[in-house]
Amino acid sequence: MLSSLRRQPLLVVLRPHQPLAAAPLLEQLQALDLRHVELAFQPSPGWSEQLRELIALFPRLALGAASISHQGALEAAIAAGCRYGFSPILDLELLAAAAAAGFTLVPGVMSPTEVHRARQWGSALVKLFPAASLGPSYWRRLLDPLGSPLPFCVAAGGLTPADVNPWLAAGVDAVALGSALLTGVTPPSSLPGSVADRLADGFDPSPLQALLAGLRV
């Protein structure tokens, strides 16, 4: 995971109600040579099975799970065959359960205490969340008081494509983008499943394409 993120320090987070609804958008993201995509856990029937199907359909994407904040979500991500998962929180029991299953779970951190605890508990990779509320210089300011080395840091939460290069230059190791990549997305309607999600309708590939062209891949 760390090696892959060093080659391409960018992740995209999608939140379809049903994972298969993201298939048209994943096809576009794969065509752009994006590597890392997370699908947020949803407590909907068949979530694991649908995500497993996507993993088979898009072998060039490193598909993971986002929003892993309880044991049930962790178990669903593992059952889906995800390569990794991200959590918005720092939870020792979740980290221990993930480690026991051989699953890479990236904890969410915000305060210096959480960064310190994540490091004590063996997390080489953390998610700085919500990053937009903290500012790009926040991570680097932790280095002197906490001491080196800090964990590998993925900044996430409220960031846009225009934020990626400034945040990388300011000291974080990778950046996650979510809803800022989607504009004009049709909101869920009374229609079921994939018809209601229609994520690809609001996707303009140009900003991401330009961004990826400037990143080391």
Q: Where are the domains of the chain?
A: 2-214
For tokens 């508990």, name the residue.
121
Task: Find the mean pLDDT for residues 87-97.
Answer: 98
Rounded to whole angstroms, the Cα distance separating 173 from 210 reads: 19
Q: Check if the beta carbon of residue 13 is closer than 8 Å to that of residue 156.
A: yes
For tokens 């919500």, name the residue.
130
pLDDT at 8 over 80: yes
CATH superfamily of the 2-214 domain = Aldolase class I (3.20.20.70)
- 205 CB neighbour count, 10 Å cutoff: 16
Beta bridge partners of 177: 12
Q: What's the pLDDT at 80?
A: 98
Q: Check if the beta carbon of residue 117 is closer than 8 Å to that of residue 136.
A: no
The dihedrals phi and psi of 43, each to the nearest 5 degrees, come to -80, 55
On the CB side of 49, CA atoms within 13 Å amount to: 3
Q: What's the pLDDT at 198?
A: 58
Q: pLDDT (tens digit, 9 = 90+) per residue, 158-183?
A: 999 999 999 999 999 999 999 888 75
How confident is the prediction for the chain on average, in pLDDT? 91
Structure tokens at 175: 């950046």
Instruction: Work out whether the CA dihedral 213, 128, 99, 151 comes out positive or negative.
Output: positive
- 160 CB neighbour count, 10 Å cutoff: 14
pLDDT at 89 over 70: yes
Instruction: Map residue 104 onto helix, strand or coil.
Output: strand
pLDDT at 195 over 50: no
On the CB side of 86, CA atoms within 13 Å amount to: 28
b/e for 88-115, b at 16 or more Cβ within 10 A?
bbbbeebbebbeeeebbbbbbbbeeebb
Note the residue count of the chain: 217
